[in-house]
Amino acid sequence: MRQIFKLATAIALMSALGACNSNDETLSDAALISTPQGPVQGVTTENPEIFNFKGLPFATAPVGDLRWAPPQAAPRWTETRAADTFGNRCMQPEDVEGGFFKRLIEGHGLSGMKNFLIKRAVAAQDPSPMSEDCLYLNVRTGNPGGETKQPVMVWIHGGGHQFGSGDFSYYQSNGLVEKGVVLVTINYRLGAFGYMAHPALSAADENGVSGNYGTLDQIAALEWVQENIAAYGGDPDNVTIFGESAGAWSVTEMMASPLAAGKFDKAIAQSGASTYHLGQMNGNGLGWPSGYSMGEKVAAAVGLNDPTAAELRAVSANEIMAKLPEKADEAFHHIRDGYVFPKNVGHAFRDGNINAVPFMTGYNSDEGTLFFPDDPQPSVWDNDLPRGGSDMMTALNKIYPGQAETLAQLYGLSDDFIAGGTQMMGDEIFGVNIRYTAKANAAAGAPSYLYHFSRVPPSEKQTLGAFHAAEIPFVFDSSEPILGLSDDDIALTEIMVTAWTNFAKTGDPNGESVPNWPESDGQNWMHFSGNTGWDLAKVETDIRKTKLDALETGLVAKLDQLDAELKIGILPTPLFDDRPVSLPFVDRGYRGELVACGDRILIEMAGEGLRKWLLPSFSARNVEWDKYKQELIWPKGRTGLGDQIRFRASISSAVQSVEGCGLAREAIIGLDP
């Protein structure tokens, strides 16, 4: 968990390198289009047939009363909007790279002069403005207003949910678009503004929850795509979400949230999955700080004790950023709230409660090289793993039941803790979780494809290997030649850009210039490489299988342990003020019926050995009753996964009459929020 902040820093630095090459772009009459929001004019790019529409608002600015609130409808206009400037970055820390930049540059094995020039060039860059008013996206297209619509790829940037924006130069490239897709890059609220929960904010929310605002922003961006992308030449019925690191976390979070159902058709997760994030809105999840506890610390840091939502929103953004508590970044991630996330992502994938779609995911062979020197802990589950001896073996067996000897031997932890720990860190945080999600998605009935990326910088003096985020320029065709660009690199870029866009078009990465890539079937990986003497792209089976199998026991054990804590009530259940004493606390799953009565939708629930309960659930404004079809009509995007209906209400023990009510549908009633 403690590595998250460092992941964010690395992504921010990688993107800073890409900012060195900026192109002059001017408004173009060929990019003047009519959209549902109003007329928009985009700018030229280095390819005269491709245009960039910058800084398009996909929601109302989340300021004032809209801070720490779900995103609201996007603005509209009547005069032509000049889409020639990127929108503000969302609020995020600055000047916190802590030596990563130096390690990143020097690890490429470049000459002293090149190192000097790169550092000077990056230092000269002026960062884009930062503001709470930051919910903007950018559309890069070669098909503005085109009658034949092209597949859409929506990029969710990385940065640990603390840093980043959609305007980084690594993402602003024409490579994907030249293959016949429309590229959308988005911002979303970060850190305290995107993921902080607090009881006062929940009390002011119509759904009784707080936190996960960054996730809601991402969903709002997908809703904008559904409504607007056709005007830019994109097909709203063929949308692929993709992202790296925290962007990949976000992809798996979209797959686990019922609110995102139906808003995307395919998914790509590069080096990340949120299956090991165990945060709760209220109550610590096996060491993950709860949303409420950190929110209360933030309030105390700005001098507020038991504040209202209005008092929290009145504090300036700069004061909040300046006074963030220590380790706040560890809490500002997705949390189980019962609404955006009925379950933590890991539980959702394990149980098959996901938006299963064609899915491509993978990781890099040396993910840990940037992080381990500053944080030499191989396991995400232990902040201070002993470096050898019986203490290390005992600790490993506690985390990974029965796997201590296997892990110590496979990674050589007793012989070289640094080298072995570096590799283990990358395999656990990334390899275990991406493979876990691929297997779960396939089990849910959708095709899954795995990749492994081992390309290294071309210099013989390089020390980074295939480091975290190294694949990004090969996906976007945005490599920086000054860092080293070999013939292998150019050829590998063509293969990967083609595979990614093939997948966006059809849900299958196979096609011309891409070697045959079978579905994962739990073991098949496409191995991308470069500057290693190996094939540039070749299918291999069971890459690092023994290592990943041993490490996965830790993830499975933690998910089971969290289950146990939830069931016995170690973690509070935040959505109910009252609970009938006769309702069993452990067994919260019941089969019942949804019933429509007047302006209320009721749930009639029957558990084994129990009386029937009637529970107020969704009001008529949330769902509609079709008296002709005798069934409920759900607004798009509000249907629960697997017919699981989540609700917020006080439970009444009184048996109520349901005369005159119509049976809506049978449902699984889940009391576990």
Q: Where are the beta strands (DSSP E) in 225-375?
A: 234-244, 266-270, 359-364
Q: Are 210 and 198 within 8 A, CB to CB?
A: yes
SS3 at position 666? strand
Phi, psi of 131 (to 5 degrees): -165, 160
**How far is it, in rounded angstroms, from Cα 78 to Cα 393?**
68
Burial-class residue 176 by CB neighbours within 10 Å (0-12, 13-18, 19+).
Answer: buried
Q: Which helix (H) or strand (E) holds 293?
A: helix 291-301
122 CB neighbour count, 10 Å cutoff: 16
In the numeric block, the tokens 């994907």 are attached to 176
Q: Which residues contact 381 (CB under 8 A, 6 or more apart)?
A: 287, 399, 554, 558
**Which residue from 83, 441, 14, 440 is spatially nearest to 231, judged by alpha carbons?**
83
User: Is-catalytic flag, 650?
Assistant: no
**How far is it, in rounded angstroms, from Cα 601 to Cα 595?**
6
SS3 at position 483? helix
**How far is it, in rounded angstroms, from Cα 251 to Cα 218?**
10
Q: Which of 15, 169, 210, 245 is catalytic?
A: 245
Terminal C-alpha separation, the chain: 24
Phi, psi of 399 (to 5 degrees): -85, -45
**Which residue from 188, 137, 131 is spatially nearest to 162, judged by alpha carbons?**
188
**What residues are paired with 606 via a beta bridge?**
591, 612
Q: Are 224 and 74 within 8 A, CB to CB?
A: yes
- Known catalytic residues? 245
